[in-house]
C-alpha cells in the first residue's frame, strides 16, 4: 500500500480497549484530518466484535478485531502503545501491507530495537518512548544542560508512574539518560546505575543514577537532578493526562505523510535536531 495524500489519514489503533487506545480513538474521531480505519486488540478481549466507539455511545463502523490483516488493510498508519512482543508482531504485518507506524511502546530490548530498525528500511516509523511534545522539548533542554554542566555535577534521574506500569526505569527516563550520556560523550550502558543497596562506597562522578517510584495513578513524572557544589539544578516534567501523548502521536502521523520509509523519533517530528 502506498500513501497518497488526502484530506483524511486512515489510522488503525492497537490496544483499542485500553486506556491509551480509548483516548486515541476519541482523538481520531474528533480530528478533521484523521479517520479511524482499524482497531486491534488481543483475542481474549471482551471488546472483540464490538464497534470501536461503542464505549462513546457512537457508531464508527470499525469493529475491534484480533485479525491483524483485517485491522490494518485499510490503514495508512498504525498507532501502537502496547508491549514489545505485540508491537513487533504488528509491525511485521505493517511491513507486509506497507502501513506506516507510530510506536509509543516501551521496554524494548536492544535486539528488539534492531528489529524495528530493520523494518524501517521498508516502511516509515516514528518510535519514541514518550510522544509528549513537552517531554521532547525537555529532552532538548537536558541536552543543553548536560553540555554546560559536563564537569562538577552529579546526575540523577528520578521517575514516578502508576502502579500498573510493567517496565522500569520508564522508557522516558532511559531516553533522558541516553540524551545526557550522548551529550557528555559517554555510553549509558557503561555509566548507568539502576540500583543502590547496602555499602555502595562513594558515588562515581561519571555515573548517571536512576530511581524508580511506582504507585497510585501517577501518569508520569520525571526529574533530572544536576547536583553540584553549592547548588543543584532540577529539570522536571509532569504529566497530568495521557492526552499529551495522544496529540503528539497525531503530530507524528502527520509527519509520516511525507516519508515513505525510515526510522524517526519525536525530535524529527518537532524539528528539534
Three cell numbers at 273? 535536531
Catalytic residue among 73, 140, 165, 259: 165
pLDDT at 273: 82
∠ Cα 118 16 120 (to 5°): 10
Its pTM stands at 0.83
pLDDT at 1: 45
pLDDT averaged per 10 residues in sequence order, the chain, 273 residues: 61 96 96 96 95 95 97 97 97 98 94 98 96 95 97 98 94 96 97 96 97 96 98 97 94 97 97 89
Catalytic residue among 22, 76, 90, 161: 161
pLDDT at 5: 45
| CATH superfamily to which 9-127+242-269 belongs | NAD(P)-binding Rossmann-like Domain (3.40.50.720)
**Which part of the chain has CATH 3.40.50.720?**
9-127+242-269
Fold adopted by 133-239: Dihydrodipicolinate Reductase; domain 2 (3.30.360)
Q: Is 90 a catalytic residue?
A: no
pLDDT at 242: 87
Q: What's the CA gap between 217 and 60, in Å, rounded?
A: 30
Q: Is 161 a catalytic residue?
A: yes
Amino acid at each position: 500500500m502506498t500513501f497518497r495524500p488526502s484530506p483524511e489519514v486512515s489510522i488503525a489503533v492497537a490496544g483499542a480497549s485500553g486506556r491509551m487506545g480509548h483516548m486515541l480513538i476519541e482523538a481520531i474521531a474528533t480530528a478533521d484530518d484523521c479517520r479511524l480505519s482499524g482497531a486491534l486488540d488481543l483475542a481474549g478481549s471482551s471488546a472483540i466484535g464490538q464497534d470501536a466507539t461503542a464505549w462513546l455511545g457512537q457508531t464508527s463502523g470499525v469493529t475491534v478485531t484480533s485479525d491483524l490483516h483485517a485491522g490494518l488493510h485499510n490503514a495508512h498508519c498504525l498507532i501502537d502503545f502496547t508491549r514489545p512482543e505485540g508491537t513487533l508482531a504488528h509491525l511485521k504485518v505493517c511491513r507486509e501491507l506497507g502501513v506506516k507506524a507510530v510506536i509509543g511502546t516501551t521496554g524494548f530490548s536492544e535486539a528488539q530495537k534492531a528489529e524495528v530498525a530493520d523494518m524501517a528500511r521498508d516502511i516509515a516509523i516514528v518510535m519514541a518512548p514518550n510522544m509528549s511534545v513537552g517531554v521532547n522539548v525537555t529532552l532538548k533542554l537536558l541536552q543543553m544542560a548536560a553540555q554546560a554542566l559536563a564537569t562538577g555535577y552529579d546526575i540523577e534521574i528520578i521517575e514516578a508512574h502508576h502502579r500498573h506500569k510493567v517496565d522500569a526505569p520508564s522508557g522516558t527516563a532511559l531516553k533522558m539518560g541516553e540524551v545526557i550520556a550522548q551529550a557528555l560523550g559517554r555510553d549509558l550502558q557503561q555509566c548507568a546505575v539502576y540500583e543502590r543497596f547496602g555499602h555502595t562506597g562513594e558515588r562515581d562522578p561519571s555515573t548517571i543514577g536512576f530511581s524508580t517510584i511506582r504507585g497510585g495513578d501517577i501518569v508520569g513524572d520525571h526529574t533530572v537532578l544536576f547536583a553540584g557544589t553549592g547548588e543543584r539544578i532540577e529539570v522536571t516534567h509532569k504529566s497530568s493526562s495521557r492526552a499529551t501523548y495522544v496529540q503528539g502521536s497525531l503530530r507524528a502521523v502527520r509527519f509520516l505523510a511525507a516519508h515513505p520509509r525510515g526510522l524517526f523519533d519525536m525530535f524529527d517530528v518537532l524539528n528539534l535536531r
